[in-house]
Amino acid sequence: MTRPMEDLLDTAERIRSMEIRGAALIGRAAAGALKEFALAIEPSGIDEFNAEVGRAAEILLDTRPTAVSLSNAIRMVMRYRGDDLDSARSSLANNADQFVERSLKAIERIGEIGSRRIRDGDVILTHCNSSVALSIIRTAHDSGKEIKVIATESRPRYQGHLTIKMLDGWGIETELVVDSAVRTVINEVDEVIVGADVITANGSLVNKIGTAQIALAAHESRTSFMVAAETYKFSPETIMGELVPIEMRAAEEVYPKISELKHVRVRNPAFDVTPHQYIDVICTEVGAIPPEMSYLIIKEMLGWEIEGRVR
Ligand code: RUB
């Protein structure tokens, strides 16, 4: 027997607990979960179908507040059409498949575009674990360029450990540093490459906590700062004046025994904002653009009308 709501809640929980993490994967997982849900439910008619998938979309949207890939993915999937159950179901499933395909192709294309900016012998610093930033690094390596990567640990969740294992598997020379060593090593770095959770209308970047400090160090030392972001990481909401919500996570992620202390609290923001002035280039699947062009990407690629938005 299929249990569509249980399965959907299970995916939502895996996103919330970060078993499924990284903005691109979160978007694809949500699109896939919505598709599976739509194919498995047995509503009495089209109105009930619309209401049930609408509820499912809201549950997924509530998992992690920052990554716009989640709301963009869900909005693309929810643009299904159909007057009857069968056509609505297949339209929704098609949209989900298209999102997943578009995401995977975009990551590959960004790898090709971004890797052209890497020279033989370059030292690259990356933060957290971004599948898109790593696509650039891997493509540069695969094309025969000798590169070295410096990877930060990315406290408190140590996504840097995922990054170094991946780089090791691809045979790329890598050095792991603690987050606070960035200023010490930055003069050896040719370019910083990071991923994105959100690009705002003015070209600023929201990414893993610590990214803004790295950008500051890169700016001061005249080191190039590159962002790898598919166009569905750009936020239409920010054109409408909305601020990007920064996810606050549990204190225990930073200090597990916090409950033993009476006068201390932990602040654990998962992301920070890097001003566009510190970004040299954003590599998207439609080209390497200056951050100032972000407004155009949102307008051309995503449509920024408020109507029809999930939220
Ligand atoms: C992950 C993170 C990544 C971006 C981009 O944060 O900040 O840099 O999501 O990743 P978390 P990708 O671990 O909290 O999800 O390029 O894979 O989309």
197 is catalytic: yes
The CB-side HSE value for 284 (13 A sphere, CA atoms) comes to: 20
pLDDT band at 138; cut points 50, 70, 90: very high
Instruction: Show the beta-strand stretches assigned E in 120-183.
Output: 123-126, 148-152, 173-177
Which region among 28-32, 149-153, 297-301 has the lowest average model confidence (pLDDT)?
Answer: 297-301
- The answer to whether the predicted template modeling score (pTM) of the entire model surpasses 0.85 is yes
Q: What's the maximum distance between 2 C-alpha atoms anywhere in the chain? A: 64
Reported confidence tier of residue 145, pLDDT bands at 50, 70, 90: very high
The finding on whether 130 has its CB within 6 A of some atom of ligand 1 is yes
pLDDT value for 240 = 87
- Is the pLDDT at 257 greater than 90, yes or no? yes
- CB count within 10 Å of CB 276 equals 18
pLDDT classification of 301: cutoffs 50, 70, 90: confident
State mean pLDDT over 272-285: 98
Could you report the per-residue pLDDT of 109-132, keeping only the tens digit for each? Answer: 999 999 999 999 999 999 999 999
Minimum CA distance residue for ligand 1 atom 1: 22
pLDDT(45) > 50: yes
Ligand 1 atom nearest residue 69's Cα? 18
111's tokens: 């790898």
Quote the CA–CA distance of 14 and 23 in Å, as a whole number. 14
Cα gap 66→248, rounded to integer Å: 10
Closest-lying ligand 1 atom to the alpha carbon of residue 228: 16
* Angle between helices 131-142 and 159-169 in degrees, nearest 10: 20
Confidence bin at 308 (pLDDT 50/70/90): very low
User: Could you tell me which of 278, 284, 280 has the C-alpha nearest to residue 196?
Assistant: 284
Average pLDDT, the chain: 96
Whether pLDDT at 229 is above 50: yes
> How many other C-beta atoms can be found within 10 angstroms of the C-beta atom of residue 187?
10
Q: Does pLDDT of 307 surpass 90? A: no
Asked if residue 17 has pLDDT above 90, the reply is yes
CA 61 to chain centre: 14
Q: Are 194 and 214 in contact (CB under 8 A)?
A: yes
Label residue 8 exposed, middle or buried (CB < 10 Å: 0-12, 13-18, 19+). buried
Give the per-residue pLDDT at 241.
87
pLDDT of 295 above 50: yes
pLDDT digits (tens, 9 = 90+) for 151-194: 999 999 999 999 999 999 999 999 999 999 999 999 999 999 99
CA gap 85, 216 in Å, rounded: 53
83 labelled catalytic: no
The pLDDT score that the predictor gives to residue 63 is 97
Instruction: Report how far residue 235's alpha carbon sits from residue 223's, in angstroms, rounded to the nearest whole number.
Output: 27
Domains of the chain as residue ranges with CATH: 3-108 (1.20.120.420), 109-310 (3.40.50.10470)
pLDDT at 303: 76
Count of Cβ atoms closer than 10 Å to residue 266 Cβ: 15
Question: Annotated catalytic residue: which of 122, 128, 179, 280?
Answer: 128
Ligand 1 lined by 206 (C-beta under 6 Å): no
pLDDT of residue 306 exceeding 70: no
Do the beta carbons of residue 30 and residue 53 sit within 8 Å?
no
Q: Which atom of ligand 1 is nearest to the CA of 21?
A: 15
Query: How far apart (Å, rounded) are the C-alpha atoms in residues 30 and 168?
Result: 29
Ligand 1 pocket test, candidate residues 130, 158, 179, most atoms within 8 A of CB? 130
Q: Tell me, what's the pLDDT at 304?
A: 63
CB-ligand 1 contact for 233 (6 Å cutoff): no
Instruction: Assess contact for 288 and 280: CB atoms under 8 A.
Output: no
